[in-house]
Structure 1
Amino acid sequence: MAVPKPRTRIQEKNRARVLEAALEVFSRHGFRGATLDEIAREAGLSKPNLLYYFASKEEIHVTLLEGLVDTWLDPLRALDADGDPQAELLAYVRRKLQMSRDLPRESRLFAQEIVQGAPRMKDGLSTDLKALVDEKAEVLRGWSSAGKLAPVDPHHLIFSIWSLTQHYADFDVQVRAVLGEGREPIDEAEVFLEALFRRVLAP
């Protein structure tokens, strides 16, 4: 089997341009609404040039999702079983809010894929994601059993953290419309969610 040649610096730069453009287009229009022509325009490349780097719209989308899964799991991986339970969980909430602030397009891309039934990442959800969530759920159960954490369902606690943090990326326009000018949603959310989870988690 032939070993693929390493990409040149220009090839790497152009692939990165395509992926950045595709992230913008997919997060705006979803997979079905996005076109290769629009991605090429956003990247400042011709469509034939784009197709030199990626064979199809689906290949671009899958490449983005594969990179995103690791990014999405990293904050949960950082939950330390040997740490203070409340401190660890509140740090997880803050990390997820920070991702909503810094990576709103990625959050919308992920949400759109899930809403559509995860056709391009279902295997990863049932393996990598499930395994990690199950592992951390056992940590939460252990903390509850030891009296260090309130007796809560660990899976639904994790789901609630996801929904209460990712909401600020996926529904940013709605949140800002309700709050009005001059307010920073994620700064306010951090204060509110810390107070909320302290009460929920207190043993």
Structure 2
Amino acid sequence: MAEKIKQVIPMPYFFLAITIAPIFFISFLLPAHPDSQLYIALNIFLDTYLLGQVGYWSSAFPFSSKIVANYISLLGPAFALIFFLKVHRRMIIDHDQYKNHTVINYLLATAIMLGFVFTMIYISYFGSVDLGEAGRKWRLFGSNVFTYALFSSGALYILYFITLILYMAFYYLPIILIKRFRSK
């Protein structure tokens, strides 16, 4: 009996902790509203030269959440690329798990993944979601600094996995499908 390949996607936990820690520091250490000249100037800089009010923020603490949202939107893609390079080096994927996938399954999965990616890109760079004023199920994340930091960490973590999703959808799975059709 052939030995089954064990799938491994190694997590760079130290890298994750270092990139997510600023979210908690910003959320806990900066004030909810700009209350000094430095913070007012930083707020104006965010609105004028950076992305302003984008991403997931909270009206309960608009200043610190605006900084966190800009941190995720500006540095998140670079961190996601570094994450992908760290994971991809040691990633082991079982090719046999995709042997029953058809082109229709692949196209449907790719369309769903692209919809998710475009939604995240839209919210991170063009739209904004006020977690403090959102519906009841999201208000928990916008009413407390700790839960907001957890939610924002999750948003950054999702950006990391978008790189893996794009790799699987546009490189890995098409190669498997092409090899399968060539062998027939």
Q: TM-score, normalised by structure 1?
A: 0.29
The higher-RCO structure (CA 8 Å, 6+ apart) is: 2
Higher helix share: 1
Q: TM-score, normalised by structure 2?
A: 0.31
